[in-house]
Amino acid sequence: MKILAAVAHGNRQPLALEQVDLAEPADGEILVRLVATGICGTDLSMIDHVPMPWPAVFGHEGAGIVERTGCAVTTVAAGDHVILSTTSCGHCPSCQRGALALPLLHRVQHVRGPPGGRKLHHAPARQAVFASFLGQSSFAAYVLSSERNTIKVDKDLPLDILVPFGCGIQTGAGAVLNTLKVEAGRSIAVFGAGAVGLSAMMAARIAGCGPITVVDTNTGRLELARELGADRTINAMEEDAVAALRATGGVDYAVEAAGIARVMEDAVEALGVNGQAALVGVASGQKVSLDPSMLQARGLTVKGTLMAGKGALPAQFVTQLIAFWQAGKLPVERMIRHYEFCQINEAIAAAKDGSAVKPILRFPEYG
């Protein structure tokens, strides 16, 4: 079937809206008509910096309505409303243990395409187009997903608000609630006030942490952090965040959500005795330098985390997060700015310059 997609033809190039062909769903696949899709920092990093088999379709925060399914699909049916997350292979040792946070085997699969090299999209000239990015390629009007990354939700939920729960929201909240397993009454600092960092901050508030400090260089985002519940904000352009936090003995927990090696180092250095840090930001190719004597003397723990976090299943965690949103405890709509799908390059520019915390694209059929 012919669909509209935002196609990337090379690093640091504007995306082009083009008509491409999408295969019919094979066994175990689900055809989803998208209502909305989020723009995530991982998409931007891939588009700008990572060599790919061009042309390619990115996007991995889709939400929409099931159009039809291939054989053997039992968890969803045509007409169901769904949020899409990152898929998993289901076969490697990590998946068998329930540790679905991007084990190496299916991480490689997501970047290089689906098993067996099956190409899902083709341009009109029959040129192969890389797709199935992180199990979706949601910068397109329709996607093919699998049962492992398709989460059924109630039809009365606003998909154009909850769409980032598939990645960014669960990643920030998962770092706090599942990877760090924070305790009430303990202090935490979040470095980076984007969608992931603010989600981590709101999750810390839900867990009863305090005081909660948010560090960033964008004054607008720091103001939003205060409105969403931060006890303290630090503008790293005006104040040494590590020195400020260490002046009171350091924090019990730190979450790094900026994707910058120097900020990762700051997050660890800001910890007090027996502190724990979770590194969330995507910093591919960067190197982090840490003093081992500091780790030893303070008894520090540094953890990497992605998606729902350690030991959590994305489908169950997203359901839990939606319940928090319904209770008014996770007001993600405060971070969102909506764009039409045809404005995707404008939305990407706003994400890069920081003027939009979480850009969400709506597709023409929405509403």
217 and 329 share a domain? Answer: no
152 and 8 share a domain? Answer: yes
pTM across the whole model = 0.89
Which pLDDT band holds residue 107 (cuts at 50, 70, 90)?
A: very low
Those residues with Cβ within 8 angstroms of residue 121's Cβ, 6 or more apart along the chain or in another chain: 5, 20, 21, 22, 23, 57, 128, 129, 130, 131, 137, 140
pLDDT at 97: 56
In a domain, 276, yes or no: yes
Domain CATH for 16:
3.90.180.10
In a domain, 367, yes or no: no
pLDDT digits (tens, 9 = 90+) for 60-71: 999 999 999 999
Tokens 């679905």, located at residue: 100
In this prediction, residues 310-338 reach a mean pLDDT of: 91
Listed range (77-81, 222-226, 255-259, 306-310) with the worst mean pLDDT:
306-310
Domain boundary among 261, 288, 304: 304
In a domain, 212, yes or no: yes
Listed range (67-71, 72-76, 95-99, 276-280) with the worst mean pLDDT:
95-99
Strand 212-216 relative to strand 188-191, pairing: parallel
Instruction: Put the strands of the sheet holding 232-235 in their side by side order.
Output: 232-235, 212-216, 188-191, 251-256, 271-279, 301-304
In a domain, 123, yes or no: yes
Residue 306 scores a pLDDT above 60: yes
| Cβ 266 vs Cβ 241: under 8 Å | yes
Residue 93 scores a pLDDT above 80: no
The secondary structure of 228-287 as a DSSP string is TT-SEEEETTTS-HHHHHHTTT-EEEEEE-S--HHHHHHHHHTEEEEEEEEE-S--TT--
Q: Give the number of domains in the chain.
A: 2
Tokens 């910890």, located at residue: 271
In this prediction, residues 145-152 reach a mean pLDDT of: 91
Domain CATH for 230:
3.40.50.720
Listed range (3-12, 129-138, 336-345) with the worst mean pLDDT:
129-138
pLDDT digits (tens, 9 = 90+) for 171-200: 999 999 999 999 999 999 999 999 999 999
Residue 166 scores a pLDDT above 70: yes
In a domain, 22, yes or no: yes
160 and 268 share a domain? Answer: no
Which pLDDT band holds residue 309 (cuts at 50, 70, 90)?
A: low
pLDDT digits (tens, 9 = 90+) for 208-264: 999 999 999 999 999 999 999 999 999 999 999 999 999 999 999 999 999 899 999
In a domain, 242, yes or no: yes
146 and 212 share a domain? Answer: no
Which carries the bigger pLDDT value, residue 133 or residue 190?
Answer: 190
pLDDT at 95: 57
In a domain, 291, yes or no: yes
175 and 163 share a domain? Answer: no
242 and 198 share a domain? Answer: yes
262 and 190 share a domain? Answer: yes
9 and 141 share a domain? Answer: yes
In a domain, 140, yes or no: yes
Domain boundary among 269, 288, 304: 304
Query: Could you tell me if residue 88 is left (phi over 0), alpha (psi between -120 and 50 degrees) or otherwise beta?
Result: beta
Domain boundary among 304, 326, 351: 304
Query: Average pLDDT of the chain?
Result: 88
In this prediction, residues 283-296 reach a mean pLDDT of: 85
256 and 330 share a domain? Answer: no
178 and 272 share a domain? Answer: yes
Dihedral sign from CA coordinates of 125, 127, 133, 135: positive
108 and 213 share a domain? Answer: no
Q: What is the residue range of 187's domain?
A: 169-304
Long-range contacts of 226-234 (CB under 8 A, 24+ apart): 227/334, 228/198, 228/201, 228/202, 228/331, 228/334, 229/201, 229/202, 229/205, 230/190, 230/201, 233/193
- Written as six digits, the tokens of 341 are 């799908």
pLDDT at 108: 39
pLDDT at 305: 84
- Looking at the chain, the whole-number percentage of residues with pLDDT higher than 90 is 67
- Looking at the chain, the whole-number percentage of residues with pLDDT higher than 70 is 87
d(CA 76, CA 60): 19
Task: Choose among 242, 253, 307, 250: nearest CA to 280.
Answer: 307
288 and 342 share a domain? Answer: no
Q: Where are the alpha helices (DSSP H) in 123-240?
A: 159-162, 168-174, 195-207, 219-227
